[in-house]
Amino acid sequence: MPNSGTPRRTVYEQAREIPVAADVDVLVVGGGPAGVCAAVAAARAGARTFLVERHGFLGGMWTAGMVLTLAGYNSWLRPYQRCVEGVPAEWLARAAKQDGAVDGDGWVLNSDPEVMKRVADEMLEAEGVGLLLHTWGTRPIVEDGAVRGIFVENVDGRRAILAEVTVDCTGNGDVMAGAGADWVKGDTLQPMTMPFRVGNVTPDPDREHAVPVRIPIGPEATLLEEPLLGQVASTRKDIDLDVDAMRAARVRGELPPFGGPWFGGMEKDIAWINTTRVVGDASVADELTRAELQGRKDSVVLLDYLREHSPVFADGRMLQTSTQIGVRETRRLVGAYTLTGDDVRASARFDDGIAVGCWPIDIHPAEGEVGVHAMFVPLPYEIPYRSLLPQETDSLLVAGRCISVDREALGSARVGATCAATGQAAGVAAALAAKSGKQPRELDSKELRSTIRAQGGLVTSPAP
């Protein structure tokens, strides 16, 4: 079968008039952690707001990607500080009240994707955000160097949505790339992961499975490596596995590449497993397709190994693989400021800081190494507003993992809660720009930071 993503010839598409489905102040493209928080924040800041999402539900990597262990809310270092508040923290707290998340000071926080979806629905509905699901943002509408909205495709056909300011929360930076904003993509990309859930497992009944896990390091920034790294790598302390034997099986060619394994999940008898590693570029359709197929195959092989070698999984049954494979890295904006790994290590502060990051510099190896990998754990650091701004393209903001960062900083800033915090900041900025008639780059960062604070968000690193 020929490569479906490489055209061998072209056809002519006749020009046509496109109906306008909505004309709003702020348009958010992508309904993951960044997109949901951007839309809620923009609406709360007084903007007429619309969101489009390609799946039939919201939540992105937290739901479709089945990343059940929510990362980036809390510092790994003593005294285990909360580093993301505001709209993302409200999402977590509301889910916890519905028994759909564990809210605490652990390094990651277990969640239930069905509850996370439902809470996102409730938050958008409460703020009057316009919403289209099953809708793909195909191409930005660019006039005189400014994004005026996007063309979308869904069961209604092709439509246009116009906006004063558009926020790219697609993860892959689809809008910024289509608009001509500068971006970069590494020669080597972190591997993708397809998490899966296994039912009928029998963990240790005498050990708790759903309490927040803290890592005994800090308060100073530090390199986390073996043996401590392996001891604290999972939230499920009721599941034991001989990882050295698993590595040896990989060396013998009996297993596909894997990370961890990392175990999570809120139910005692259901284990969430984060372990598959598939190398590829999720911003290329052929490679993404291959990764989805490979992820499902590898999930079965890895579960078969667990059944054979761990009593916990002896009677385990595959319940679900993620709706979409989890993506760690594709395009990154080249913005007005590029946050660097050195900034992360130095716990940098900025006059225009709009969010706080605290996750380690966590770069999954694309090949060779299996199991866990050493990570530098920083003190909380700030993310500047300029990292959300294209250098030249107007009426566009970027939030989530495709903001302007180098590859090391991406290893930290790419996780869900940090993406959600940049989403809230981008939503506030978009609303302020739309209402004032200014370009996002013309905003007063003091007003922006003040408005984020008024919504409960953190813009400065917590005091040690």
Domains of the chain from N-terminus onward: 20-187+331-359+379-454 (3.50.50.60), 196-321 (no CATH)
Compute the distance between CA of residue 93 and CA of residue 7 in angstroms, rounded to an integer.
48
Q: Are 283 and 325 in contact (CB under 8 A)?
A: no
Q: Are 298 and 278 in contact (CB under 8 A)?
A: yes
Compute the distance between CA of residue 40 and CA of residue 50 in angstroms, rounded to an integer.
10
Place of tokens 């889910």: 95
Helices (H), 138-227: 174-179
Whole-angstrom distance between the N-terminal and C-terminal Cα of the chain? 58
Tell me, what's the pLDDT at 1? 43
Compute the distance between CA of residue 387 and CA of residue 30 in angstroms, rounded to an integer.
19
CA distances from 372 to 2, 10, 190, 277, 405 (A): 37, 46, 14, 12, 24
Compute the distance between CA of residue 173 and CA of residue 183 in angstroms, rounded to an integer.
8
Q: Return the C-alpha torsion angle 111, 296, 234, 101, nearest 10.
A: 0
3-class DSSP state of 431: helix
CA angle 299, 71, 276 (to 5 degrees): 15
Low-confidence ranges of the chain (pLDDT < 70): 1-7, 368-369
Tell me, what's the pLDDT at 107? 93
Q: Which helix (H) or strand (E) holds 382?
A: strand 381-384
What is the model's pTM?
A: 0.96
pLDDT digit string (tens) for 186-222?
A: 989 999 999 999 999 999 999 999 888 899 999 999 9
Tell me whether the omega of the peptide bond preceding residue 261 falls within 30 degrees of 0, making it cis: yes
Tell me, what's the pLDDT at 117? 98
**Which residues have CB under 8 Å from 156's CB, separation 6+?**
21
Compute the distance between CA of residue 183 and CA of residue 174 in angstroms, rounded to an integer.
10
Quick count: other Cβ atoms within 10 Å of Cβ 315?
Answer: 12
Tell me, what's the pLDDT at 212? 83
At residue 19, φ and ψ (nearest 5 deg) are -65, 145
Tell me, what's the pLDDT at 210? 82
Is the CA virtual torsion 158, 323, 173, 171 positive or negative? positive
Burial of 264 (0-12, 13-18, 19+ CB in 10 A): buried
Quick count: other Cβ atoms within 10 Å of Cβ 222?
Answer: 18
Length of the chain: 464
